[in-house]
Amino acid sequence: MSGASVRSRSLKRVWRRTPGGRAVIHYRRSKPYVAVCGVCGGRLGGVPASAGSLRKVAKSSKRPERFFGGVLCPSCLSAVLKLSVRSS
Ligand SMILES: [Zn+2]
């Protein structure tokens, strides 16, 4: 693998030793990011997997626009809100 495509840093570089003893670089594509809830660890809805094309997308379309949008899942958010209201 050579040329302009590997000059970009979007691919992860991994050094590997060949059977002949040379050290070569292997290029690996990173796995797409999956957003998870900060409390229960479940997958969050409304949060697209990160990709290069997402740079031009508005922030409002990358996560739900509410308290803890993109951080907590709806059920954990309702539990947190109930806790905070009942303790105040
Ligand atoms: Zn949760």
The mean per-residue pLDDT over the stretch 14-24 comes to 96
pLDDT of residue 74: 95
- Measured in residues, the chain has a length of 88
Residue 73 Cα to ligand 1 middle (Å): 4
pLDDT of residue 88: 83
CA distance 58 to 25: 35
> Does the predicted TM-score (pTM) go above 0.85?
no
pLDDT, one tens digit per residue, over 26-61 is 998 877 778 999 999 999 988 887 655 777 888 888
For residue 58, the SS3 value is coil
CA distance 69 to 45: 10
What ranges do the domains of the chain cover? Answer: 4-87
CA distance 34 to 44: 8
Residue 54 Cα to ligand 1 middle (Å): 25
Measured in whole angstroms, the distance separating CA 55 from the mean position of its chain's CA atoms is 13
Residue 27 Cα to ligand 1 middle (Å): 35
